[in-house]
Chains A and B, each alone.
Chain A
Amino acid sequence: MTDLNNLQQNKYTAGFETITDSESFEPGLTEEVVKRLSAIKNEPEWITEFRLKAFKHLQTITEPTWANVNYNPIDYQALSYYSAPKYRNKEDIPQEILDTFEKLGVPLHERDALLGIEDQNKIPTVAVDAVFDSVSIATTFQAELKKQGIIFCSISEAIQEHPELVKEYLGSVIPAKDNYFACLNSAVFTDGTFCYIPKGVKCPMELNTYFRINARNTGQFERTLIIADADSYVSYLEGCTAPAYDENTLHAAVVELVTHDRAEIKYSTVQNWYPGDENGVGGVLNFVTKRGLCKGESSKISWTQVETGSAVTWKYPSCILRGDNSVGEFYSVAVTKGKQMADTGTKMLHVGKNTKSTIISKGISFGDSSNTYRGQVRIGKTATNSRNYTQCDSLMLDNSKALTIPVVSQYNNSSIVEHEASAGKLSEEALFYLQSRGLDEENAVNCVVNGFCKDVFQKLPLEFAAEANKLLSVTLEGAVG
């Protein structure tokens, strides 16, 4: 029953659709739908309330229009807000869904992840939570992680099993009223990942969530919440793909991170949502709110993102540096081609003393695409002796447009803010030089672009860096010539 249509002509290898029996809501967004969603997930009343409050507020606000992107108006009533493949329990996951993740290279069975590891005592490098449309399909190595007190599960499970933690932190960094898409997500979020790293624990493996959109005309509204308690450390990876449909698919996620005293979260994303075809038909609308709160002193949050997908990207992973001596980092590579539009960047809000932030953004644009960096650095009155370093580079080819909009505001005299920016066309001279040594055009472009992104790729965990490299070459394949 699996239809794995590989859309070779599009160079987007994850563009296949999986045919599986699923249970979906009829299109439409009403209070009833929100209640039904909460009921189907058997949620406690406080979550239902959380959703309904958000839904009520949603009726009073509108989508933001300031971003440098264009898309057809979204008909929220034409979308379905829930789609889940039918199966009874986790031992009974339909083969076609297992095949889907296998094809995407996501190890759903612990034994797969352990393959090739000869030493029995060796801990695998990655634990996975796989989300298919509105539900989490499987989460691996939970038992292994539990031994150290680490909770790694779907948010739905966390609501049932660890309500005290979810209650304390859900919406604490990104309140439902934050912005339109965060508000929408708060009302209709379906699944996502929950992680809790207890005091003093260094998570022994990378935690990885893989988001797969499959159903047509269904929005994906995932919710991720990661808490690193005092003196803990976790490296978290997020990957995403979607089938190549003619219609736009809405993806409005919310990711909240909290670090306590001296804790560190390293959050890496390789975003490869379907970008639409060469004429700009179809593709994912990626409207995501990601924010981390460095709550404790000397805590650290680091965002690294490689963005190659989506028709439209609207995304600003940010850090609130509340704890004294806390550190925020943002490393980004955003590649746009064809008709893609990206408006992405970060916010660094310095509140605590001696806080530090680093922003390195690399924008690469091809074809008719547009690529905007939008950044805000705010060093508040209380954030004495703080520092920010920002570097924004853009590389352009063809008729593409790159725009850099950095906003800096500083409210004390003891802090230092540095900004560097460069914008350049991919130089003919560099390409000729490389080609004169035998590299063909594609390979030459690859070398230049990879070199351009190197500072950011170095920040990715090893396996992820290899994947990002591969993804980048595939992305460039269609872009040149």
Chain B
Amino acid sequence: MLVTQEFTVKVNDETVLDNINLDFGPGIHIIMGPNGVGKSTFAHAIMGNPKYQTEGAVEFFGKDLLAMETWERSRAGLFMSFQQPTPISGLSNFQFIKQATYSHTEKQNISALLKNFKEHANNLHLEDEWDKKQLNVEASGGEKKKNELIQMLMLNPRCAILDEPDSGLDVDALQSLTEVIEDFARDDKIVIIVSHYENLIKRLNVDTVTVLGKDKTVRGDVTLAYKVLEEGFKNVE
């Protein structure tokens, strides 16, 4: 379970998210909201981006998440896929995943790890030498998004927050994405998706929909998402 209580997020003393009380259990959850309302901020603040100051409490499987460093949150089973994954030149995708998995668990057999990585890359139709490519350098928007998914699958977190995982994806890639998410969620995982694309939402078995608003937060089932998609955010009461 991921539970936020009176969760407030500020950037340079300016409040972006005010007093958010939400809980997420196993299943697929959608977060929507008008531009600039702080959806990405929510994801980053949960992950511990030092740019944000947080107040209130966030509980993650009984742990006090806000007291933990970012890497501790990751090691505790939290994952976030970035809307714009950061390029790191000179660091290959596989070197990175190796470092990341080693930081989570005991050192694993490297060839098994590589085999696993290549399988995921292959399933997502990434090019053959994907493991050798530099992390998020010279990759298309869609490739970067797929690479985030590989990282999620390799690290196998208990809870994944996906910040607009569908932007920049073509129809085929969107299909792969939904399959990956459905498959992943089946295993009692918490998946929180920041998105406002009908194409993604309608393909998933959504458990809850949360609309972040300037003044208040509304929670509902998937019909709330369709209402927003048809009528806009204004009519969500």
Chain A residues at the B interface, C-beta cutoff of 8 Å = 427-430, 432-441, 443-444, 447-448, 450-455
Contacts and interface: CB of A to CB of B under 8 A. Distances in A.
B62 interface: no
Contacts of A438: 71, 74-75, 100-101, 103-104, 155
B55 interface: no
A433 B73 CA distance: 13
A450 B101 CA distance: 19
B90 interface: yes
Nearest to B95: A447
B130 interface: no
Nearest to B80: A436
Interface residues of B, number: 30
B91 A439 contact: no
A427 B49 CA distance: 13
A452 B71 contact: no
B132 to A, nearest CB: 12
Contact of B91 (A429, A436, A450): A450
B220 interface: no
6 interchain residue pairs of minimum CB distance: A451-B90, A454-B90, A438-B103, A437-B100, A438-B74, A433-B86
A441 to B, nearest CB: 8
Nearest to A444: B71
B116 to A, nearest CB: 16
Contacts of B101: 438
Given A428-B50, A428-B51, A443-B103, A435 B74 contact: yes
Interface string B139-153: 000000000000100
A435 B96 contact: no
Contacts of B104: 438
Interface in B85-125: 85-86, 88-91, 95-96, 99-101, 103-104
Contacts of B85: 433
Contacts of B82: 433, 436
A454 B95 CA distance: 13
Interface string B30-47: 000000000000000001
A169 B194 CA distance: 70
B69 interface: yes
A443 B86 CA distance: 16
B103 A452 contact: no
Contacts of A432: 47-51, 70, 86
A481 to B, nearest CB: 12
A453 B90 CA distance: 8
B74 A436 contact: yes
Interface in B52-77: 69-71, 73-75
B95 to A, nearest CB: 8
Contacts of A427: 86
A440 B86 contact: no
A439 B151 CA distance: 13
A430 B51 CA distance: 12
Given A437-B99, A438-B100, A444-B71, 15 more contacts: A432-B48, A432-B50, A432-B51, A432-B86, A433-B82, A434-B96, A435-B69, A436-B47, A436-B70, A436-B82, A438-B155, A439-B99, A451-B90, A453-B90, A454-B89
Contacts of B91: 447-448, 450-451
A438 B172 CA distance: 31
A439 B103 contact: yes
Given A436-B80, A437-B96, A437-B151, A447 B74 contact: no
Contacts of A437: 74, 79, 96, 99-100, 103, 151, 155
B216 to A, nearest CB: 29
Contacts of B80: 436
25 contacts: A428-B50, A432-B49, A432-B51, A432-B70, A433-B82, A433-B86, A436-B47, A436-B71, A437-B79, A438-B75, A438-B103, A438-B104, A439-B103, A440-B69, A441-B69, A443-B99, A447-B88, A447-B95, A448-B91, A450-B91, A451-B90, A451-B134, A452-B90, A454-B90, A455-B90
Given A428-B51, A432-B70, A440 B103 contact: yes
A451 B87 CA distance: 11
B90 A434 contact: no
Contacts of A450: 90-91
A440 B104 CA distance: 11
Nearest to B70: A435
B77 to A, nearest CB: 10
B229 to A, nearest CB: 30
A187 to B, nearest CB: 44
Listed residue (A427, A438, A452) with the most chain B CB atoms within 10 angstroms of its CB: A438
B76 to A, nearest CB: 10
A440 B71 contact: yes
Contacts of B134: 451
A451 B70 contact: no
B93 to A, nearest CB: 12
B155 A430 contact: no
Contacts of A444: 71
A35 B132 CA distance: 59
Contacts of B89: 451-452, 454
Contacts of B50: 428, 432
Given A437-B155, A440-B103, A429 B90 contact: no
B67 to A, nearest CB: 16
A360 to B, nearest CB: 12
Nearest to A448: B88
A390 B47 CA distance: 40
Nearest to A453: B90
Contacts of A454: 89-90
A441 B101 CA distance: 15
B34 to A, nearest CB: 25
Contacts of B75: 438
A404 to B, nearest CB: 19
B158 to A, nearest CB: 13
Nearest to A447: B91
A434 B49 contact: no
Contacts of A452: 89-90
B147 to A, nearest CB: 12
Nearest to A457: B90
